[in-house]
Structure 1
């Protein structure tokens, strides 16, 4: 058997077995359950389930995890329920029961969401990451591990942090990402050192040895090569110091990796390296005897022993080791075909080199058979993975759709509430606006009414004022007319006196006899007539003469105007004749002439016309 074949076997064991070794904080005695109340049992049952899982007793682990979940749910300890479902998700992922793993992970997530506890949500996200690790969906693994670690920043849990970093370390070994392999292996170890879980710490030391192996392969620095065995020795020492707390499989992996280290990095002539390799391979074989699911480690250790027996030309022991490894693997209910194919291939080549072509052909046929089974198994698993992944994506899309619908419903609800609030506010605003407008209208109406009243009062006042002013004006006009009439009457009287005096003068100069008493009496009568005329002349329009001239069609003489004034004063013909010292006949003739000048008709009365003038 060539060296490279064993290398493939050992690296496969490192990776696959590491998926199983993730916790087990203390060694627990199931009898302690009887001493606890039902309320306190879930936490212990969860730890017992994890312990059974580490030891490979998956049925017992599932049973205890289910009991824990049921009791914790009864007492509404939702964080413990989430942890119990996480263990179930891990077991189903390891046993390739993808559907059950997904259901357990979803249950963990649902319960954690109900609890609203960061630590519960972190476990639920870790359960999701374990499921996606089983179906090789690296993107989702990274996503959920990141979500869990972000929550653990708020609520520290070194135990869970170490497990998450360990899972990230494993997926980076698939990608041969040396930087991240080192980063996450160190982070896992740092957190594991803060716990009392020595089994988890042992696996983290093994992870550091793998990281050192990567470093040496990329740099060829002997310091990294020595680090491989250093960390493997630390893992082995933990088992020796705490044999009750470290799983045999964890120790067996450390031993088989140590044997592989000496096989790969030391020459055939290095007796010390050969002795160490044989010793560690023997320890791995011994410790895994009777252990559940320890067949692969035992087969790998026997493969290494057969390689050293072959180097020593001890072909009997070479055949014995390979046959024993083959027998061990065949006893598995579901054998690891990858390791089985490598062992059978080694047997076929061994018999071919020994010249036993019949056995070589027989084992080569088995290689073909196991390859076919391995291919069918891989195809079936891949089909299951694809189906489960499709269902998971479908479910996730449905959940996203439901969330979107719920979000849309919430948004719609908020929109309706907003519209309702806006409508109510609008109605309130409209009501208040209507109220203000009504109030304003009433105030405006009252104001207009007051303004109308003020206007009416003002109008009334103005009318009264106008009436008063008009009355005053009329009074003034009347007074003015009276004054003018008095003046006109006085002028007429003065003219008459002047004419009387002139006549007296002529008579005296002619030595005529005068009857003074008669003249005196006549003048007294005329004065009385003039007093009466003064009273009547107060009614004459001040512009009497100007108005009369305007109406006249021919120019009126002063004598005409005087006669019109006497007529306006309602004097009769006799008095006018006496005042004017003319005959009554002359007065009548003058009246006729004036009537013609004024353009009055034959039937029109001059006296009435003059009296009606304003």
Structure 2
């Protein structure tokens, strides 16, 4: 029975210690609630609920935690509500109400998310770890413990850190992982030492004793063996120093582990070890008398006492201890079948060794019956675990699907936002491009307009230049024509002088008498008239003579042209006769001859014709 008792006590220590407790130690009592406002009551109610849980009064613990939740939610204190629900999770897992435990643990997550505080989320993850510890899901225990530690981050909460590390210690003790058992037991103790929660610290010392036991089993180092009892003594001393703050069950478990230490590691002849083992087992039995849910601890202590009684050949006492253990367990409403099977098996073996086969058979039958009940209980519990695990996985998958859907929706939203942004940027780019094109078009149009204006100005300048050149050309032509007119007029005058001199010469040759004074005076008069005629001739159109030649049907002589010019200038016949030194009759005859050359009719006036031509 020795090995079985020890393994069971380790399990009891794990169940008892793996729950939430208050970090700040004060002497808790219900009367303190009267001195607090409603807003401050939730924290104390949560501590009272945890105190009830530690003492095994689960119904009271759930009721107080419920009150704490109600008041906390009234003032929207989601962090304190999360802590209270964590106590409920711990109680439901202890009494194997897995569905209620799952529901409560999910509520802690919901409240923590509303709180939006890392510490609340850390408690919620710790509650999830408690739930998965109850249904033996090691992977999820590790996951949520790591998430809880991550949520704490730089937040200083040594109490919660100690509880998380203690949970990891328990998980690795079930795996017999010596390295991690030491690692997490040390981490839990280091954090517990920073608190004033002596019940937690006592459990951590017990964890260190278990780690030392693993170390001794693997190395057989005597120093490590002695450290087992060293840490158990430290756990027991805390109860003796702070009896109001360390639970009786915590103290009783450390005592049973001490008794088991002496039972396993010391010889039958070592009286000191025997005395210590009996003393610790008796203290555990005594302290748990009348305690709620203390039957299993008492049965374990009575089993150790029975073992020492058999060693002393005191079979009466050995039987009495086993019978008392059986009585303690069988009177419980829902017996601990695992421990009860160990006890009735020990009784069956005892009576078989004593030759009382009837009783041996009777207890063997009871052991078989309890085994069947234990098997049924385990099967029912496993079915419940599988069911709740299935529901948990189903919900987790639903949550994952929701998260994936949410992530997909978020990605889709981001995609739509990206498309919208891209569209807006595209529109902006198009607008800017259109704006630039429009501005370029306007600038181009303006430039073309300026170029057009420049071209028009250039054309205007060119036209003005051409006009100027034409004007200059016309001026030159006019000047040339004027010169030609002056030359023509001068030629007419010269011809007149030449003709006059020629006539004077002929008269002198013929010895005609001449009146020089008269000729002189006539020439002076003719010169004056000629100057006037000369000016008028200069006004004649430069194309006058060419037009006459073009119109003439017969060639006009210079004398004909001279007469035409005189007629054009509106000189009368007498004046023309004087200028030409001929008779008036000759002038009229010449006019008739010119009219014929020009092809004019009898009714047409030569003088008007010549004037119109000019």
TM range (shorter): 0.7 to 0.9
Normalising to structure 2: TM-score of the pair?
0.80
- Equivalent residue, structure 2, for 1:121: 121
CA contact (8 A) 1:23 1:54 kept: no
Gaps of 5+ in 1: none
In 2, distance between residues paired with 1:117 and 1:464?
92
Stretch deviating more after TM superposition (218-227 or 243-252): 218-227
How is 1:507-526 mapped onto 2 (pairs within 5 angstroms)? 507-516=507-516, 519-520=519-520, 523=523, 526=526
Shift of 1:57: 0.8
- Equivalent residue, structure 1, for 2:296: 296
How is 1:200-279 mapped onto 2 (pairs within 5 angstroms)? 200-279=200-279
In 1, distance between residues paired with 2:472 and 2:39?
117
In 1, distance between residues paired with 2:581 and 2:442?
82
Secondary structure at 1:291 match in 2: coil
In 2, distance between residues paired with 1:348 and 1:14?
28
Q: 1:43 to 1:14 in 2, by over 3 A?
A: closer
Query: RMSD of the alignment, in Å?
Result: 5.1
In 2, distance between residues paired with 1:374 and 1:537?
159
In 2, distance between residues paired with 1:603 and 1:20?
152
CA contact (8 A) 1:310 1:318 kept: yes
- Equivalent residue, structure 2, for 1:28: 28
- Equivalent residue, structure 1, for 2:17: 18
How is 1:512-591 mapped onto 2 (pairs within 5 angstroms)? 512-516=512-516, 519-520=519-520, 523=523, 526-542=526-542, 569=569, 587=590, 591=594
Q: 1:558 to 1:136 in 2, by over 3 A?
A: farther
Gaps of 5+ in 2: none
Stretch deviating more after TM superposition (112-121 or 540-549): 540-549
CA contact (8 A) 2:6 2:257 kept: no
- Equivalent residue, structure 1, for 2:7: 8
In 2, distance between residues paired with 1:171 and 1:228?
20
- Equivalent residue, structure 2, for 1:498: 498
- Equivalent residue, structure 2, for 1:191: 191
- Equivalent residue, structure 2, for 1:284: 284
Stretch deviating more after TM superposition (198-207 or 120-129): 120-129
Secondary structure at 2:301 match in 1: helix
CA contact (8 A) 1:159 1:195 kept: yes
Q: 1:264 to 1:587 in 2, by over 3 A?
A: farther
CA contact (8 A) 2:22 2:47 kept: no
Shift of 1:496: 1.9
- Equivalent residue, structure 1, for 2:484: 484
CA contact (8 A) 2:9 2:256 kept: yes
Instruction: Give per-residue Cα distances to partners, 1:364-417, cap 9 Å, x unaligned.
Output: 444443333333322322222232233334444545555666777788889999
How is 1:21-170 mapped onto 2 (pairs within 5 angstroms)? 25-170=25-170
Shift of 1:53: 0.8
- Equivalent residue, structure 1, for 2:322: 322
CA contact (8 A) 1:305 1:321 kept: yes
Shift of 1:548: 7.7
Shift of 1:186: 1.6
In 2, distance between residues paired with 1:415 and 1:511?
136
Secondary structure at 1:334 match in 2: coil
CA contact (8 A) 2:20 2:90 kept: no
Instruction: Give per-residue Cα distances to partners, 1:452-480, cap 9 Å, x unaligned.
Output: 99999999999999999988886776565
In 1, distance between residues paired with 2:383 and 2:149?
31
- Equivalent residue, structure 2, for 1:336: 336
In 1, distance between residues paired with 2:267 and 2:394?
54
How is 1:438-457 mapped onto 2 (pairs within 5 angstroms)? none
Stretch deviating more after TM superposition (361-370 or 279-288): 361-370
In 2, distance between residues paired with 1:392 and 1:576?
146
CA contact (8 A) 1:22 1:203 kept: no
Report how many aligned residue pairs link the two structures. 610
